[in-house]
Structure 1
Amino acid sequence: MIAPEDDLDRIISVMERAFPPEYGEAWNRRQVADALLLGRCRYGLIGADGGSAVEPGDETAGFFLGRSILDEEELLLFAIAPEYRRQGLGHRLLSRFIDEARANGIKRVFLEMRHGNPAMHLYTAHGFTPVGIRRAYYRTPGGERLDAISQELVLD
């Protein structure tokens, strides 16, 4: 899937606002574009009004980026810009990601997140459960090491 340049701009804009730089979780534009070129990747945007079709000039509130292999998919990136959090947009966007995965024949969805990530409640609310830990995977600028938590959602 090749994303239009303005959609890449929207993804990067949200990511820059949403991901704390001290954890190094954000991808750069090239990484996002390359992932989409490799195939089996998809993305979705959500507007400030909750609509999925973001038109030129509309503010983008969030996005997801996923990659599937056979009947499994990994949620690679998921973000809602801070100014749009706590409005239900994260739930709406994650529901859309899961519904599309199910429609595409996906049986299991995986994600990995930093321990202490405030989005944990969102993933738990949608049925994700912890299945593994990568010890000391993330490093903060101060040298602190944080675990990465692998999560799984089994789809019917």
Structure 2
Amino acid sequence: MSTVLNMIELRSGTTADLALVETLMAEAFDPRFGEAWTRGQCLGIMALPGVWLTIASIQGQPAGFALSRLTVDEVELLLLATAPAVRRRGVGAALLRSVLGDAQDRGAVAMHLEVRDGNEAIKLYRNAGFVKVGQRRAYYRGNAGLVSDAFTYRRDLL
């Protein structure tokens, strides 16, 4: 799959893209919050059925990624990150639209995600029709003892 929308190119990713994903996570996720996954965690999840990776680029430069998993008829958005240099240029929204479309194409009836309390991406998810359905207290444990809640969101796809 390869699509160009407003100079944002989206393509399917593979395990060969994990070095890129790791670099984007290091840039996008503040280590104070403990949100980034290790390459091993990404490799392990990508080996499971129903998992897919979407890579975004702008003019050939890495711009973001989304990692998602279909289980039965529901999709979980596991990770979504955009490079700080291209934030607020539609990359996150393009990735989210792509994942939502892929989820529907795969027969999903709902999508779930979790996001750290205070993360600016909450606005993106709310604007895309996600509704807060839960909270995990003290879920994220970052550096220097920083602890944050996780909010869980859901969007029906029917």
Cα RMSD (Å): 1.6
Question: What is the aligned partner in structure 1 of residue 111 from structure 2?
Answer: 109
Q: How does 1:31-70 map to 2 (within 5 A)?
A: 31-49=41-59, 58-70=60-72
Q: Distance in 2 between matches of 1:123 and 1:84?
A: 18
> Is the Cα contact below 8 Å between 2:33 and 2:146 reproduced in 1?
no
Answer yes or no: is 1:119 the counterpart of 2:130.
Answer: no
Match for residue 3 of structure 1 among 3, 10, 14: 14
Q: Where does the alignment leave 5 or more consecutive residues of structure 2 unmatched?
A: 1-11
**Shift, 1:68, TM fit:** 1.1
Match for residue 89 of structure 2 among 62, 69, 87: 87
Q: Distance in 1 between matches of 2:58 and 2:20?
A: 12
Question: For the structure 1 residues 144 and 29, does the alpha-carbon distance in structure 2 shift closer, same or farther, using more than 3 Å as the test?
Answer: closer
- TM-score, normalisation: structure 1: 0.88
Q: Percent identity?
A: 39
Q: Distance in 1 between matches of 2:13 and 2:64?
A: 19
> Where is the strand percentage greater, Structure 1 or Structure 2?
2
Question: What is the aligned partner in structure 2 of residue 12 from structure 1?
Answer: 22
> Is the Cα contact below 8 Å between 2:115 and 2:150 reproduced in 1?
yes
- TM-score, normalisation: structure 2: 0.87
Q: Distance in 1 between matches of 2:118 and 2:51?
A: 27
Match for residue 71 of structure 1 among 73, 86, 90: 73
Equivalent position amino acid for 2:33 in 1: Y
